Amino acid sequence: MANYTQSIQNLMNELARLPGIGMRSAERIAFHLLKQNPEDALKLSDAIRDVKTRIKHCSTCYNLTEQDPCGICSDASRDQGLVCVVEQPKDLLSLEAAGLYRGVYHVLLGRISPLEDMEPGDLTIEPLMERLASGAIREVIMGTNPNIEGDGTALYIQSMIAGRFPNVQLTRLARGLPAGSNIEYANKNILADAISGRQKM
């Protein structure tokens, strides 16, 4: 392969670090950008800069947001006493798309996973306990994924809440969700059923 100029090589190296993009794709994208007029090509760098400077985690629920608290936490028409605990912002978006849930959320930003070196302290469990300590929350719905690690995370949090806040009701999404599946990929009807048919833990 001929040597590219340093700036083209830099661009290709950065593109190749993205998930699912190998060196061949990186090369193709780099040359596509080179062919574009500057205005169009720079939209990509502007979009990356925007997302990295404007988007942050809500200080209450840890959802991704441009305003803090996020639109859901600051929505007075939603039930602020009902909290659904999910692993990732993507799961929250899937549940919101189902359109049935009127409570609020708490995003763990992961799950307990020894294989991925994720321990309870790496998740937003302690901030969840602080929210519960405020006394304004009467029910917590476990909305972690129905697989081994998601279930393990739900059980860990359940035991923490049961020990410290015995008056808080604990439920979990109904098992219309196939075992081993991901909330992110479940269809809207199944998610709506999972919320309305939630069960006591």
What is the binding site for Zn ion (CB under 5 A)? 58, 60-61, 63, 69-70, 73
Instruction: Give min distance, CB of 17 to Zn ion, in A.
Output: 30
Closer of 28 and 57 to Zn ion (Cβ): 57
Query: Looking at beta carbons only, is 73 or 140 nearer to Zn ion?
Result: 73
Closest distance of CB 162 from Zn ion, Å: 24
Q: CA 45 to CA 179: how far, in whole Å?
A: 40
If the CB atoms of residues 89 and 146 are measured against Zn ion, the closer one turns out to be 89
Q: In angstroms, what is the minimal distance from the CB of 63 to Zn ion?
A: 5
Residue 67 CB-density burial (10 A; 0-12 exposed, 13-18 middle, 19+ buried) = exposed
Name the residue nearer to Zn ion (CB basis): 96 or 151. 96
Q: Output the smallest distance, CB 58 to Zn ion, in A.
A: 3
Q: For residues 30 and 138, give the distance between their C-alpha atoms in angstroms, rounded to a whole number.
A: 53
What are the angstrom distances between the C-alpha of 197 and each of 80, 122, 180, 190, 200?
Answer: 20, 30, 19, 10, 10
Query: Which tokens is 54 given?
Result: 């404007």
Nearer to Zn ion, 26 or 70 (CB): 70
Question: Which residues are CB-contacts of 35 (< 8 A; sequence separation ≥ 6)?
Answer: none
- The residue among 103 and 146 lying less far from Zn ion, judged by its C-beta, is 103
Q: Shortest approach of Zn ion to residue 137 CB, angstroms?
A: 13
With CA atoms as reference, report the closest residue to 18 among 42, 41, 44.
Answer: 44
**Least CB distance to Zn ion at residue 48 (A):** 24
